[in-house]
Structure formats: structure tokens, C-alpha cells
Amino acid sequence: MLQTREMFNKIHKRYDMLNHLMSAGRDIAWRKKCCKKLPKKENAVVLDLCGGTGDFSLAFKKILGDPKFSIVGDFAGKMLSVAAQKSPDLIPVQMDATDIPLADGSVDIILNGFGMRNIKNLDLAFSEAFRVLKQGGSFATLEFFKPEKKIATFFYQKIAPLAIPFAGMMFSKRNAYRYLVLSILSFITSKEYAAKARAAGFALRSIKSLDGGLAHMVLLEKK
């Protein structure tokens, strides 16, 4: 995990651009679409888990208004420094997704954008998310899951790897981009992800394929 953390710390200034590159420029629209599917709650406590530079939190604020608290949790401190610069309303907290430093039932909504595949113990992360979420709370995931559809498989197996040399020239972090591409191909499918969530106690609200399966939106609830 230490190696992965250091990698994200090294690419913190270019992380947003890498996300745009890997999503063919669609990640901004996906976050907005996901936020529109979430319930609007007064005085909500929102945790952006593996929140990186805070883009999911800012999308939430734009679509659903100001929450009571908007916590951006990530294990890479330099990523959080970028989030803090984007908005004074974001509360950056360095944390491990498998050991969240929040009380039981203290969070109304958990967001996770493109971070779950970087967690080694996914079952423990689900257990922690379930613990801190309030009854009736929502857990929204946007992720590059292992591709199943032809368009997504072609993009991540053929097109995305071609951009590795380009990413190296542009960002001087060729190995980081290679890791991000390989992490998609070696991750689980959206259905397997939903099965793990249900095993942790979550109810599945929906799985939505985005742009031919380039990404998926998974909405969970703690009933």
C-alpha cells in the first residue's frame, strides 16, 4: 500500500488530467450524473472516500447543494492538499479506507470515484463503509471496473495502453499511467463488486453502465 500511496503523492498535480485521459474526457459528466441519482438530505454529512483531489465532493455540492460537512478522505496527503486548494468548504482527512476514523453511523452519504480498485482488502473497506454509514444512507461508486462489453474491452486493452508513452512525455509519470490502466484490467467486474457489497450488508439499488461500459455507477444503500 505504501508504494501505491507514494505513486499518488507523486502524481497529485496531474491526477485530474490523468482521470480525464483515462475516461476519454467523460469523468466530469459521470460524476454529475451519479450525484443526480442521490437523495437530497438536509444537513447531510458526506464522506468522499478515496476522494483524492475532491472533484466528486464538488460535483455533489453543485448538484445537491452544500452539505453540513464534506469530508474528503484519502491516504495520499498531497492529493488532499489539492482538494483543500479547490474549496475551503472541503474537509481533507488523511485516512485508510479499511480503517475509517469516524464514528459508527455518522455519515449520510459516501462517495467513491475511481478509488475502490486501489484498495487491497475490498471486503474490509466495505465493512468500514457500512459501519460509518447511517441507516438509510447511500454509498455511490463510480469506477473503471474490469471491462465486459466490447467497446470498453477494446478501449482499455488496445487504445489506453497506446497512450502510455504519451502520458510519460506529458506527465513524466509513465509508470503511474501504466499502473492505472493495468489496475482496470486486473480489477473485478461491476457485478462481482455488487456481490461483495451485498455480502457486507448493503442493499443494491442499481448498477448503471456508462458510455458503453467505460465505467459503471453502482448505488448501494444501508437499510
The domain in which residue 214 lies consists of 2-221
The answer on pLDDT for 172 being more than 60 is: no
- Average pLDDT over every residue of 59-75: 97
pLDDT at res. 177: 73
Give the CATH number for residue 81: 3.40.50.150
pLDDT at res. 159: 83
Show the 3-state SS of the chain: CHHHHHHHHHCCCCHHHHHHHHCCCCHHHHHHHHHHCCCCCCCCEEEEECCCCCHHHHHHHHHHCCCCEEEEEECCHHHHHHHHHHCCCEEEEECECCECCCCCCCEEEEEEECCHHHCCCHHHHHHHHHHHEEEEEEEEEEECCCCCCHHHHHHHHHHHHHCHHHHHHHHCCHHHHHHHHHHHHCCCCHHHHHHHHHHCCCEEEEEEEECCCCEEEEEEECC
Domain count, the chain: 1
The whole-chain average pLDDT of the chain stands at 91
Task: Note if the pTM is more than 0.85.
Answer: yes
The answer on pLDDT for 1 being more than 90 is: no
* Structure-block grid coordinates of residue 100: 475509517
- Average pLDDT over every residue of 180-196: 93
Lowest average pLDDT, out of 16-20, 38-42, 71-75, 122-126, goes to: 16-20
